[in-house]
Structure 1
Amino acid sequence: MKPVTQAGDWLADPGRFHGEWQGGAHGANVCVIVNEIETIGAGPRLHRHPYPETFVVRRGRGLFVVGEERIEAGPGDILVVPADTPHRFENLGPGTLATIDIHENGAFVTEWLE
């Protein structure tokens, strides 16, 4: 087990701060996605996980659909989506939506609903 992962090992493009990391291989029961969504209206389609997911909004504005609720979130907001709850989000603009998404599981498990 490698206790430290260097940024270049897991970031999709080391020149930009985005990518994903699965902690199970490193002894952690958590996965992390770092998003940089530039296009207004872009984001993942409706899905759910069998564990909670926490979103930390670092920059920009996003529309989060969590179950039947629609939530506009901005810098510093933190949202927790309960396990098995359908959810999606998109960039509202202007500018880039930057989030850190924390999955409470050592590996990603996603059921795409659309």
Structure 2
Amino acid sequence: MSSFPIVPTGENVSRQVLSDHPELMVVAFRFSAEGAIGALHDHPHVQSTYVESGRFRFTIGEAEQEFGPGDSFVIPSGETHGCVCLEPGTLVDSFTPRRDDFL
């Protein structure tokens, strides 16, 4: 169980840091309702996303793709990305280096 707080990040979306180290961070993003949005954004970190549960439509750069339970993918540093929740669930993201802005 994580000792980090659950932080609201948008309507029906929250995040919780699960573990961190200066070179790596693991974060759970929980989407509690269909239509919840992970807003388009970019950051200098390389991100790996694992879909623990639910279904999501991601925009990564110019491409759109749907992902469901067990899917995973990598988002390169600086690539604009975001998602729309199609079925409530949880994304587990890993960032390298750590997202200090999440601490």
Secondary structure of 1:49 counterpart: coil
Q: C-alpha separation between the residues in 2 aligned to 1:60 and 1:23? A: 24
Secondary structure of 1:75 counterpart: coil
| 1:41 to partner: Cα distance | 1.4
Residue 64 of structure 2: aligned partner: 70
| 1:58 to partner: Cα distance | 0.9
Deviations 1:11-63 (A, max 9, x none): 529xxxx6125624xxx411221022011111321101112111100111001
Establish whether residue 23 from structure 1 lines up as the match of residue 20 from structure 2.
Answer: yes
Residue 55 of structure 1: aligned partner: 49
Runs (4 or more) in structure 1 with deviation over 4 Å come to none
Residue 32 of structure 2: aligned partner: 38
Structure showing the higher helix proportion among its residues: 1
Which 5+ residue runs of structure 2 have no aligned equivalent?
A: 8-14
| 1:100 to partner: Cα distance | 0.2
Q: C-alpha separation between the residues in 2 aligned to 1:90 and 1:75? A: 15
In our comparison, the structure showing a higher alpha carbon Rg is 1
| 1:84 to partner: Cα distance | 0.4
Identity of aligned residues (%): 24
Residue 98 of structure 1: aligned partner: 90
Name the CA shift for 1:85/1:109 in 2 (closer, same or farther; >3 Å).
farther
Preserved CA contact (<8 Å) 2:2 2:18: no
Structure showing the higher strand proportion among its residues: 2
Establish whether residue 10 from structure 1 lines up as the match of residue 4 from structure 2.
Answer: yes
Amino acid at match of 1:31: M
Name the CA shift for 1:90/1:12 in 2 (closer, same or farther; >3 Å).
same
Preserved CA contact (<8 Å) 2:2 2:19: no
Amino acid at match of 1:20: V
